[in-house]
Amino acid sequence: MIVPSLLSAQELDGYKNLCIISQGEGYGVVDIIRDFFVEKGFTVVIGKDNISQKRDERMATVICTYSYEVKSSVGTFMTIEFTNMLGEKILTLNGHANGWDTVKHEVRKSTQKALKRGIMNYSYNPEKTPMPPTPRSNYSSWQEKDIKSYMLTTKDQLEGIYKSVGNPYFKLAILKEDDHYISMVLDSDQQYWTYGDVNGIYDQVKPTYYSTTFYYENFKKLETFSTIEENGVLKIGDFTYIKIFPIQ
């Protein structure tokens, strides 16, 4: 018999929201997981598109995926994995049901066993919620219209709104803050990023060159250099952005 990974509910204490990625198998696995976590006090959504866009709520969210294997001679094996919004795997649960019943029944039973044996004394503790490694900015609370109004008053070559060329998609506002520049996310197709997040810090070292700390994907850090061309093309390492506002 396979015993679940007994990392215990303590691994989940920093989270209060659960996003389940459905496999569409039709055996009711999603319903079992959802009901189990609702009873524990979680807010549960189905599908990544339904994750809150609020920064604090997103960071308190854990993504749940599952898979199972049916072996006619030994039964059904269920694996349930939990990953946070930083892309870190925080818990894996395993459940097993003997192959003495229908596949549907065995899949459901192995799911229930994995949850009940692996998650016991859960208690939400916001102090355990992970935070992104990227800073916030005084501009993070500005609306895009306010940013555009400000940018119409500046002649700085780097400040502006940019869109990425190719994937991943980012729409960024680059603004001067204190003695450096920051890039702030206005829009992205990346699940880890939301409006107002700072994903880059730029220090000018030559007229068109900037020493850059850049974050991408699930907060991967890149130390590189950026260059801005007269036509509004911004190169950040291997990434290319085009200035779309203001148009010179």
Can you give the pLDDT at residue 142?
95
Strand order in the sheet with 17-20: 43-46, 17-20, 61-71, 75-84, 89-97
Let me know if 153 is exposed, middle or buried by CB neighbors in 10 A (0-12, 13-18, 19+).
Answer: exposed
Contact criterion met (CB below 8 Å) for 242 and 162: yes
- Assign residue 24 a region: left if phi > 0, alpha if psi is -120 to 50, beta otherwise? left
Q: How far apart are CA 164 and CA 234, in angstroms?
A: 9
Q: Where exactly does CATH 2.40.128.520 map onto the chain?
A: 138-245
Q: What's the topology of domain 9-128?
A: Rossmann fold (3.40.50)
φ, ψ (nearest 5 deg) of residue 92 = -130, 130
Can you give the pLDDT at residue 248?
67
Q: Which stretches of the chain drop beneath a pLDDT of 50? A: 1-8
Q: How far apart are CA 136 and CA 194, in angstroms?
A: 12
Q: Where exactly does CATH 3.40.50 map onto the chain?
A: 9-128
What is the CB neighbour count within 10 angstroms for residue 57?
Answer: 15
Q: How far apart are CA 194 and CA 132, in angstroms?
A: 11
* The domain made up of 138-245 is a member of CATH 2.40.128.520: yes
